[in-house]
Every structure is written in structure tokens, then in C-alpha cells.
Amino acid sequence: MQIFGVDIGGSGIKGAPVDLDRGDLAQERCKVLTPHPATPDGVADGVRQVVEHFGWTGPVGLTFPGVVTDGATVRTAANVDKSWIDTDARALFSERLGGLPVTVVNDADAAGVAETHFGAGRGRKGTVILLTFGTGIGSAVFTDGVLVPNTELGHLELDGHEAEKRASSKVKDDHDMSWEHWGHRVKKYLAHVEMLFSPELFIIGGGVSRKAQKFLPYLDGLRAEIVPAELQNNAGIVGAAMRAAEDHGQRAAD
């Protein structure tokens, strides 16, 4: 079974059909740059470009970098234009995609769902926290495999600032930090999260997961196990497709 997944990030919008039996992309993904400012209309146009690239005509799952309630309404917009707040994203994207069935979910939640089903969190009990390091820091918290939706742990305070303003991969790039320097910041952040939640496992996602060997050695001394996301930067696309498949199935049954 294939469903289309789209991952909307602060720098890029990427998507592809997903093979839900394997938990992997069925075709090489298409990516376009996120417009700046990242307004609802601009982002919706980018999503349409990605979906139309494949000639897709079925259900579409989309991630959003912020809190999404009821699979539709955007409540926060830290790394996109503030005009997103209170937007009915599901209606917007469905209209822009010619009426296709659409599901919208928080980006880190989508990545976490994919990792707990197909990747590094598969079969793990207790508290598992996935953290995506990109333009900001996204989080997904699971207890015995059950998601606690819309956590925003990237906005915890770290050294008097929001954590994502200190330890996101964008901060690393903007300030040309070494992996060691950045790794020590991430370790300090993880120690704070560990103190609050006592997880058994941290999964590190986002684009940096492809280079885990460069920073994992600097994340020593924590009690929790720390591993890179196995689906790497495709986890959001896979998780979005999974949620769309669930949603479409429920609607068909109704």
C-alpha cells in the first residue's frame, strides 16, 4: 500500500509516495525550498509542486513545524510565518491539491510515529523521546509506544534562551560551530530533558542524524541510551503517510 507523505520544514518541503509495508519511500523524494516568508499560501504552493511532481491523486499526509490540533488547526508557528496561527491547514492544503483527502500532523510527532513503528524505537517500552534537530528542535514523546501529541520541548529554556535558539542544527550552521562545540550544547539540552522526563531512550532525528558519528561521542554521561533515527530525514515523510493512511481508513469506514 502506498500513501503520499510531505514533510514541511523551515528550509525545505519534501515529499514522496511511501510504501507502508516497508516503511520507506517508494520513489526518490522531491524537494522544493520553503518560501520566505513561509506564509500559508506560499507553503501550500510548494506542497502542490511536490505532489504534482508525482501526479499523485490519492490521500496525502503532511507534517507541520508547530502544534496542530484535531488534525487541522495550526496553533503555533515558531519557524514559519505567524499568519499560520489558527489556520485550518487541512482545508487549505486540500483546496490547493484539488480536493484530495489531507491529514496534517506535527512534524516531530510524525517522525516519532515512523521511528517507533519502523526504526530505532520499534518494540521499545517505557519513555522514548525523539528530538529532531533542524531549523528548530522538534520533539515526540512516547510512553510504551503511545504518543503524547504536540510536545514542544524545543522551547524549553536553556542558558536563558529557548533551547532551539542554542542547540538546533541551524544555530550550528549559522555560527559555524565545530561538532564538538555543538555536541556539548546538545548534551546540556538532553541532560535537562532527561532530568524532566527520565526517558529510557533518546532518538536523534533531523538532517544531522546522517552524521551521527560526528557528534554522538560528545553526548556521553547521560543515563538514557542515545541513538540516531534509522529513517534519518525521511522519518517525517513516512510518519505523515502513516497518519494519512489511518485517517483515510477511518473516514472510509464511516
User: pLDDT by residue (tens digit) across 153-168?
Assistant: 999 998 899 999 999 9
Q: What is the pLDDT of residue 248?
A: 81
pLDDT digits (tens, 9 = 90+) for 107-136: 999 999 999 999 999 999 999 999 999 999
Q: What is the pLDDT of residue 71?
A: 86
Q: How far is CA 248 from CA 32, 103, 109, 134, 193, in A?
A: 26, 8, 18, 29, 35
Q: Which fold has domain 2-107?
A: Nucleotidyltransferase; domain 5 (3.30.420)
Q: What is the pLDDT of residue 57?
A: 96
The answer to whether the beta carbons of residues 25 and 16 sit under 8 Å apart is: yes
Of the chain, the percentage scoring pLDDT greater than 70 comes to 98
Q: What is the pLDDT of residue 253?
A: 35
Confidence tier at 249 by pLDDT (50, 70, 90): low
We find that the CATH architecture of domain 120-229 is 2-Layer Sandwich (3.30)
Domain boundaries, the chain: 2-107, 120-229
Of the chain, the percentage scoring pLDDT greater than 90 comes to 92
Q: How many CA atoms lie within 13 A of 83 on its CB side?
A: 10
**The pLDDT of residue 213 is above 50:** yes
Fold match between 2-107 and 120-229?
yes
Average confidence (pLDDT) over 196-212: 95
